[in-house]
Amino acid sequence: MNQMLQDPQSQESQTQESDARTPAEMVAPPLAAHPRFARPQRVAFVQACWHREVVEEAKHAFLAEIEARHISRAQVDIFEVPGSFEIPLHAQLLAKTRRYTAIVAAGLVVDGGIYRHEFVADTVIKALMDVQLRTEIPVFSAVLTPQQFHESQAHFEFFRKHFAIKGIEVAEACANTLHSLERLRGQVAAGIAQSG
């Protein structure tokens, strides 16, 4: 990481400026103002139960972040499946209901069993993309496959934190895409953009 050196006088003036702030201003960063949706949104969150204690970190982080982006917890339905391999079929059936404006998948694919983890992860991602393209319901993935996962406390803690970050990222992607699709569909309806 690049760091810039500053002369002591410059640092002193910055310290005096920061001391003029209230304690609340010094502790809490300003809240980001996220745009509101023109229409109600409903999201399906499909979670694999394999290594639930890790994957649930993505769910908790997703729910907190998506609520900050004006989709309440009541607008998110949670579905559980045994493992990541079962996610695409559930996503497809949920998309076909037309009840959901987005579907989010979360799972941890690790070595073991009869399938290689790279095969499972690749198959799941491709199938989720197929669901999205066939149904025109956006599907987001927080299905992760670490290169080397060991059943140790250190690895579990590392991946729990990693899944929390992924939960925030997938909520951001979900909300931004839903806003983008709202704008695009409005433009198509107004004849500004052509649909193909």
Rounded-to-5 percentages of helix, strand, coil across the chain: 55, 15, 35
Closest CA to 107 of 59, 67, 60, 65: 59
Q: Please give the C-alpha separations between residue 30 and each of 10, 27, 33, 101, 120, in angstroms, as whole numbers.
A: 25, 10, 9, 30, 41
Contact 110, 145 (CB under 8 A): yes
Give me the phi and psi of 143, to 5 degrees please: -90, 115
Tokens read off for 26: 């010094």
Q: Is 69 a catalytic residue?
A: no
Question: Quick one: CA dihedral 13, 15, 18, 19, positive or negative?
Answer: negative
Considering 21, 42, 52, 116, which one is annotated as catalytic?
116
Q: Which residues are known to be catalytic?
A: 116
